[in-house]
A and B are shown apart, each in its own frame.
Chain A
């Protein structure tokens, strides 16, 4: 009987690599390689159209980045996402607090209700908002009663509508991340703080809020990243009147067929989204563990 190789729980590394390779190849092929094309086309002149590559030039960069319209679009994109993020995070706090302390059964139900919309087609959800915010919709009617002047097409085509749509998209992430943070807060810490004479305001600002910052940053960055990247929501709720970066890329790419411009804008978008996500996780890992101590 020959002596066998040592038994171990780990297969030889080759088997693991073979197992992982197809998925890795898919990601690199579907995401990585096209992005290379993106960079290459962005370096073309704006007149290139759909032709193959001419010489590399930065003329496109200059044209696009010196256009005030483009900067207005950047500003609107950021503004809309930021507003939606702030509103969503603020609304998430009480809900996450409730969820973190709820009974097992209540939690299951809440998770089901909060996560289900994410699995429903975004177009279906947006049509719901088109109905609610559009002409004859409930929301404009109510606003009119209160005294706001509402245009005939309802709220569609306003930044407010886009913000509503984004909040709707992003709220579940906020609740989930804050729930995780709140679950790590021991009730005994709160009792201890009260024992030491903490008022409600102190309790929130000095105890709960600091401990939730990690989750807040994670949620807010995810929300911002989604807000700037998503296409369908601003496309339908902004109705072309309020372009944001994603709709501008679409227009330049498929309607105006100005591929170099579209590519450059797309690169800006990708860099922006990456920055938000990576920046946030760096901040969180540097300063804010889940178990961050109160002062």
Chain B
């Protein structure tokens, strides 16, 4: 195991920011810490990088406890969200910075520089200064600067957040290519689910300072364990019912999970929008209701329908052109097999 985080906690003032975080990263593994703003993912990354000290728990790198090991002694390299390029140094000098500090001999330094420039496709820009570079170029310099140190673990803090939307997809592919070419172990922090799924083999989902679920992208997508996980990963329909078998549902017994919690035992489940049936066929489903289409969202590739049925809003998705207009009455339903049980996270 390259990295082992064991019950790490962190407090800022009186606020507990991380609660007993435990996960591990193997050699060559591409991991992503995924979660909404404020969930503690960047704090976790900063602890791994050596900029913050845990208040409890242990952090091990290659078996060695490194809780108090300063950043300048760790074999990690961080790419910051704002890139943190040195404004007074050129691209080449930025990349060579760590090598110069580490007194790497000239020949070796030069060859590593060229390798990094080649890898990140920065040839020709060596003499430019950060203020003369575009956002995407700056990011590549930050990456090159980190990779040239040949770290054991690469840490990336929201690397694509500051880029324009169209650039983001391109850089995402670049990043994946670089990760595969170097084979380096990496931890990427992001709030973007697509980014996480494309760039990582293992996802650590966090919320409010705790780990919610760890698994492969497929596992998370198909089998989220909690209500939060489901919502974050795109289950648009999440319902709660008070006791009873989920299959014997009536409208009366069904509530949207967003409404106030009751005292009795709650059962949560989710239904993916693309498993919801809309129209006359719905009446053949074991669970079905009558409702009114309140809104239709057409993106060209797919159409999303919002159906009001009693107190609920049910979301259905289809790829065809608009079939059901706003304001029409429809039947809506699903098969019990489409119901995915969820745990409440309290």
Q: Do chains A and B touch in the complex (CB under 8 A)?
A: yes
Which A positions have Cβ atoms within 8 angstroms of B?
A: 1, 3-7
User: A residues within 8 A CB of B68?
Assistant: 3-7
Distance to closest chain A CB from B135 (angstroms): 24
Contact with B71, one of A3, A5, A7 (Cβ below 8 angstroms): A7
A7 and B64 within 8 A (CB): no
Nearest residue, chain A, Cβ from B64: A1
Task: Say whether B70 contacts A4, CB under 8 Å.
Answer: yes
B67: chain A residues within 8 A (beta carbon): 3
Q: Taking the nearest CB of chain B, how far is it from the CB of A276, in angstroms?
A: 41
- Cα separation A1 to B66 with both chains bound (whole Å): 10
* A9 (CB) vs chain B CBs: closest residue: B51
Q: Is B1 an interface residue (CB 8 A)?
A: no
User: Does B160 have its Cβ within 8 Å of any Cβ on chain A?
Assistant: no
* 9 pairs, CB–CB < 8 Å, chain A vs chain B: A3-B68, A3-B69, A4-B68, A4-B73, A6-B53, A6-B68, A7-B50, A7-B51, A7-B68
**Cβ of B76 to closest chain A Cβ, rounded Å:** 13
Given contacts A1-B64, A4-B70, A5-B68, 16 further A-B contacts (CB under 8 A): A1-B69, A3-B65, A3-B67, A3-B68, A3-B69, A4-B68, A4-B69, A4-B73, A5-B70, A6-B53, A6-B68, A7-B50, A7-B53, A7-B68, A7-B69, A7-B71
B residues contacting A by CB (< 8 A) are 50-51, 53, 64-65, 67-73
Task: For the complex, give the distance between the alpha carbons of A8 and B67 in Å.
Answer: 13
Residue of B nearest to A1 (CB): B64
CB distance from A15 to the nearest CB of B (A): 16
In the complex, residue of chain B having the shortest beta-carbon distance to the beta carbon of A5: B68
Distance A1 CA – B71 CA, assembled complex (angstroms) = 15
Q: How far is the CB of A181 from chain B (nearest CB, A)?
A: 32
In the assembled complex, the CB of A11 is this many whole angstroms from the nearest CB of chain B, namely: 13
Tell me, rounded to whole Å, the shortest Cβ–Cβ distance linking B236 to chain A: 40
Residues of B within 8 A of A1 (CB): 64, 69
Residues of B within 8 A of A6 (CB): 53, 68, 70
Docked Cα-Cα span, A73 to B110, in Å, equals 75
Q: Which residues of B contact A7 (CB under 8 A)?
A: 50-51, 53, 68-72
Alpha-carbon gap, A1 to B65, bound state (A): 10
Q: Which residue of B lies closest to A7 (CB)?
A: B70
**B51 — nearest CB in chain A belongs to which residue?**
A7
Q: How far is the CB of A8 from chain B (nearest CB, A)?
A: 8
C-alpha gap A62/B65 in the complex (Å):
76
- Taking the closest CB of chain B, its distance from the CB of A12, in whole angstroms, is 14
CA distance in complex: A4, B50 (Å): 12
Q: Which residues of A contact B71 (CB under 8 A)?
A: 7
- The residue in A3, A6, A7 that gathers the most chain B C-beta atoms within 10 A of its C-beta is A7
Shortest CB–CB separation between residue B75 and chain A, in angstroms?
13
Chain B residues with Cβ below 8 Å from A3 are 65, 67-69
CB distance from A208 to the nearest CB of B (A): 38
CB proximity of A54 to chain B, nearest CB, Å? 60
Residues of A within 8 A of B70 (CB): 4-7
Q: Give the distance in Å from the alpha carbon of A9 to the alpha carbon of B232 in the complex.
A: 35
What CA separation (Å) do A4 and B67 show in the bound complex?
Answer: 9
Residues in A neighbouring B64, C-beta threshold 8 A: 1
A6 and B67 CA atoms in complex are apart in Å by 8
- Residues on A with beta carbons closer than 8 Å to the beta carbon of B69: 1, 3-4, 7
Give the Cβ gap from B294 to chain A, nearest Cβ, in Å: 38
State the CA gap A5–B50 with chains docked (Å).
Answer: 12
Task: Give the shortest distance, in Å, between B181 (CB) and chain A (any CB).
Answer: 31
Distance from A186 Cβ to chain B, minimum over Cβ atoms (Å): 29
Kindly provide the distance from the CB of A7 to the nearest chain B CB, expressed in whole angstroms: 4
